Chain A
Amino acid sequence: MEPTFILLLFVLVLSVFLGFELISKVPSTLHTPLMSGANAISGIAIVGAILTSRIELVDFEITFILGMAAVFFATINVVGGYLVTNRMLSMFKKK
């Protein structure tokens, strides 16, 4: 196994444990905003989508289309996810 892969796996394992620690204390009132906020974070695939354009391609057609479609969908996910979460959270008020 390549050392980079092991290093990435290390990051993964720690993040999973961190995620469980962070989320397990969220009260049920906030389950929906938590879910849609987390969903917006999963739009981080946008970074990978932008990076598909890192190579000046001679024959770019298929990867170019795939990459731009990825940017498009990931942006919907990110912008829509954060805005809708913000809209929901602004309604939660205390007495």
Chain B
Amino acid sequence: MEFLNTIFSSTANEALVNVIYILSSALFIVGLKMLGSPETATKGNLISALGMLIAVVVTLLDQSVTNFQWIFVAMISGALIGAIAALKVEMTSMPEMVAIFNGFGGIASLLVGSAEYFLSGTDSLGILIPIFLTVVIGGITFTGSIIAYGKLSGRMNGNPVLYKGQQWINGLLFLLLLFFGIEMVANQGFIFTLNWQILAAIICLSFLLGVLLVIPIGGADMPVVIALLNSYSGLAACAAGFVIQNNVLIVAGALVGASGLILTNIMCKAMNRSLGNVLFSGFGAVVPAGTSAEEQGEVKPIVAEDAYLILEAASSVAIVPGYGMAVAQAQHAVRELGELLEENGTTVEYVIHPVAGRMPGHMNVLLAEANVPYDQLIEPEDINPIIESVDVCIVIGANDVVNPAAREDDESPIYGMPIIDVDKAITTFVLKRSMASGFAGIENPLFFKTNTRMLFGDAKDSITALVSEFKN
């Protein structure tokens, strides 16, 4: 009996809980490592989920936890909603799905920080400062993600919203937040005397700042924003870890924060722009007064029958998808065309630019959904050195990532951005709805090159037309 008492005494219980948190952190680390390779990724995700499961179970077994019935109600309803959303979502809607899940992570941390603010009643700086950070980062993540969700799902106009003095207003809001932060930490009652008033002010300001920080960012820059919000949701959880002095939150939150930052950096590099430029420049709002279309020559349209004849004779084809492929839901038709070309003895490769689409890896997911094997997907630097020998490049709904102005025109806003040099291929087909310019509003000289042929129309219809040409 003595022995059992020791095991179930509260200190032993606490030690056991902490040992299991260490195990859970280790599982997250191993899981993330295994997510780094396609062969082990599925298993890695399961291992990380196992880490989460044991962390949750051991927390529920903590002797001090009460309110079980309500916790279960909240968990079961959350699990149902999460599961239905995850299983129902279309692969083309994945960017907005990831955005909204980021937002839920942010609001959860905000709520934890707020509850702890009332519960702990502490005056320790080591806890009050993290409470402030949890609420601010969580709040910005939440409303920022909702705006990103709105822009990505088309419920909101995706264009940048710009107005005079935007940076000043954001700066002012930030200073106000800092002021209330000091008020919260110092607990002096400069304006508000009650805890809930200070907290409410901080929450409102963070929500507002989240909205204002994301509205000036255009749809084409969303890969950067999603990666950054991903990082924030991790940092919010990490700050919450300091509030409740719990290592597993700090480790897990820091891992997510780091991974989001790395992705953000990769996306910025792929556009040759700084993070500051992406976040604050309102890129794509103004159409730069560049050389007009008339000066650039004439576009040469082509019909599906003629395009088929060229493809039929080609020995190598590179397919370059962009956001337009996602919009037209053309990925399955593209895979079918790719297979027909291969049956015809043509080498087919898919070239994916890191920022093609609306989130990091967007095109890879869509093509995977359409059963394109991932070893057929290559990166721009794999094909650019040999692109002169490629017979046909098929550009499907991509624009800025194949714009030679990035290489040739130092006046262009995208000058210096690494692109896929499709203009150097022997022939390039551009599938496009109309002659409107890309999301960044920049003229694309590719359309006027002598080796470029424009296949106008909906991307899915055009590809389907090519497929039926092959089948006849």
Which residue numbers of A lie inside 8 Å of B, CB to CB?
1-2, 4-5, 8, 11-12, 15-16, 18-20, 22-56, 62-64, 66-95
B2 close to chain A: CB less than 8 A: no
Given contacts A41-B234, A54-B66, is CB(A73)–CB(B98) below 8 Å?
no
Query: How far in angstroms is the closest Cβ of chain A from B59?
Result: 5
Decide if the interface of chain A is mainly helix, strand, loop or mixed.
helix
Given contacts A29-B361, A75-B82, is CB(A92)–CB(B253) below 8 Å?
no
0/1 string, B54-83, CB within 8 A of A gives 1: 011001101011110011011101110111
Q: What's the Cα separation between A87 and B41 when bound, in Å?
A: 12
Size class of the contact patch on chain B: 35 or more
14 new A-B pairs (CB below 8 Å) besides A8-B241, A27-B36, A68-B67?
A1-B125, A25-B36, A34-B259, A36-B101, A45-B109, A46-B108, A47-B55, A51-B246, A53-B67, A68-B73, A69-B107, A79-B86, A82-B49, A92-B41
Query: How far in angstroms is the closest Cβ of chain B from A1?
Result: 7
Say whether A35 contacts B260, CB under 8 Å.
yes
Which residue numbers of B lie inside 8 Å of A, CB to CB?
28-29, 31-33, 35-39, 41-42, 44-46, 48-49, 52, 55-56, 59-60, 62, 64-67, 70-71, 73-75, 77-79, 81-83, 85-87, 89, 91, 94, 97-98, 101-102, 104-105, 107-109, 111-112, 114-116, 118-119, 124-126, 196, 226-227, 230, 233-234, 236-238, 240-263, 266, 352, 354, 359-362, 364-365, 368-369, 371, 373-377, 379
Given contacts A52-B116, A77-B101, A80-B81, is CB(A16)–CB(B111) below 8 Å?
no
Say whether B78 contacts A76, CB under 8 Å.
yes
Say whether A53 contacts B71, CB under 8 Å.
yes
Q: What's the Cα separation between A82 and B101 when bound, in Å?
A: 11
Given contacts A38-B234, A50-B65, is CB(A8)–CB(B247) below 8 Å?
yes
Out of A5, A32, A44, name the residue touching B364 (CB < 8 Å).
A32
Given contacts A41-B48, A93-B373, is CB(A8)–CB(B250) below 8 Å?
yes
Say whether B362 contacts A74, CB under 8 Å.
no
Say whether B373 contacts A94, CB under 8 Å.
yes
Chain A residue contacts of B114, Cβ below 8 A: 66
Q: Which residue of B lies closest to A95 (CB)?
A: B373
Q: What's the Cα separation between A8 and B257 when bound, in Å?
A: 16
Say whether B78 contacts A79, CB under 8 Å.
yes
Say whether B104 contacts A91, CB under 8 Å.
no
Say whether A23 contacts B94, CB under 8 Å.
no
Query: How far in angstroms is the closest Cβ of chain B from A94?
Result: 5
Say whether A47 contacts B71, CB under 8 Å.
no
Chain B residue contacts of A36, Cβ below 8 A: 94, 97-98, 101
Q: What's the Cα separation between A81 and B237 when bound, in Å?
A: 15
Say whether A34 contacts B35, CB under 8 Å.
yes
Given contacts A8-B241, A68-B70, is CB(A35)–CB(B227) below 8 Å?
yes
Q: What's the Cα separation between A31 and B101 when bound, in Å?
A: 16
Chain A residue contacts of B94, Cβ below 8 A: 32, 36, 84, 88
Say whether B250 contacts A31, CB under 8 Å.
no
Q: What's the Cα separation between A25 and B263 when bound, in Å?
A: 11
Q: Which residue of A lies closest to B369 (CB)?
A: A91
Q: What's the Cα separation between A33 and B44 when bound, in Å?
A: 11
Given contacts A4-B245, A39-B102, A44-B237, is CB(A67)–CB(B111) below 8 Å?
yes
